[in-house]
Amino acid sequence: MPVTETTPPVIEIRDLHKAYGALEVLKGVDMVAEKGEVVSLIGSSGSGKSTLLRCANLLEDSQQGEIRFEGEPVLWHGTGLGRRPGDHKQLIRIRTNLSMVFQQFNLWAHMTILENVIEAPVTVLKRDRHEAEALGRELLAKVGIGDKCDAYPAQLSGGQQQRAAIARALAMEPKALLFDEPTSALDPELEQEVVKVIKALAQEGRTMLLVTHDMRLAADVSDHVVFLHQGKIEEEGPPESLFGNPQTERLQQFLSHSQ
Ligand code: ADP
Ligand code: MG
């Protein structure tokens, strides 16, 4: 479907506030990912990047603000997530549609790679097991580990495990992929295998939110880059201006330390 002005953003976050007890982590953050857009989130450790991603797919409750998924409000404050009647269905819908890839892969150690990939489609989406397996094999081939279907996570390199985790996220047929530092746990040579997959997904026109320490990756794949500093957006824009002509001293400093 072509993107038109009437297509609502896949994810829209407005004035989001999140605190852990007295610690204010997000202090009024706005972020929008249009369909087909790659938005990267950069910033120092502790600036709130993971918290923002976790709030976006409702893994975390928040105190104030608005989150919309395809134009529809999905957030209620004060009740605790999943505690209102009907919330549980909503949570599942959001989490399956905004599929997350974590730094530490989080594969289930006691399951084969293919079982890891088909588990949620079969149990949560109630997909037919044979169809889920066929799609799972296809996705594992797509990320370059089609020969690892029957292996266990411990038998794979970190780069292979992360690619399996990406296949698992894709198996939910999500509307957007959320990556939280997907290459940080990897040795540089394995990092590139995963970078290649992320670039291919960006080229396919997938909607993605990408938290990364890899400025080259962010510059290569992003339509929009957001620099978070102490829970606030300090600067944002297209990668060319953010990386090529940073305006704020904080971003200039951050970039000088991360290159
Ligand atoms: P980033 O991903 O940018 O490194 P995080 O979102 O993980 O930052 O963390 C932002 C801040 O929130 C940090 O100060 C961190 O210690 C704190 N924090 C994160 N998760 C929790 C939690 N579950 N409980 C309390 N504090 C947390
Ligand atoms: Mg983080």
CA pair distance 106, 145, nearest whole angstrom: 17
**231 to each of 1, 17, 105, 241, how far by Cα in Å?**
35, 9, 25, 22
Q: Give the pTM.
A: 0.93
- Report the separation in Å between the CA atom of 13 and the middle of ligand 2, taken as the mean of its atom positions: 18
pLDDT along the chain (259 residues), means of 10: 75 95 96 97 97 92 90 73 67 90 95 98 96 98 98 97 97 96 93 95 96 95 97 98 97 91
Contact 92, 169 (CB under 8 A): no
Say which ligand is closest to the CA of 42: 1
- The answer to whether the CB of 57 is under 6 A from ligand 1 is no
Report pLDDT for 74.
84
Which amino acid, 185? A
Asked whether 20 lines ligand 1 (CB < 6 A), one says yes
Q: Is 23 in the pocket of ligand 1 (CB under 6 A)?
A: yes
In whole angstroms, give the CA distance from residue 109 to residue 128: 23
* Atom in ligand 1 nearest the alpha carbon of residue 21: 25
User: Whose CA is closest to atom 27 on ligand 1?
Assistant: 20
Q: Which helix (H) or strand (E) holds 73?
A: strand 72-73
Distance between CA atoms of residues 124 and 132, nearest Å: 12
Residue 55 Cα to ligand 1 midpoint, Å, equals 12
Q: What is the pLDDT of residue 85?
A: 59
Ligand 1 center–CA 235 separation, angstroms: 20
Residues written for the chain: 259
Tokens (6 digits) for 30: 């706005």
Which runs of E-coded beta strand occur in 139-204? 176-180
Whole-number pLDDT of residue 58: 87
ipTM: 0.98
The pLDDT of residue 169: 97
Q: Is the CB of 42 under 6 A from ligand 1?
A: no
Q: How many CB atoms lie within 10 A of CB 219?
A: 15
| Residue 222 amino acid letter | S
Q: What local confidence, expressed as pLDDT, does residue 73 receive?
A: 86
pLDDT at 59: 87
- Residue 178 CA to residue 97 CA, distance in Å, equals 10
Nearest residue (by CA) to ligand 1, atom 23, is: 20
Which ligand is the nearest neighbour of the Cα of 185? Answer: 2
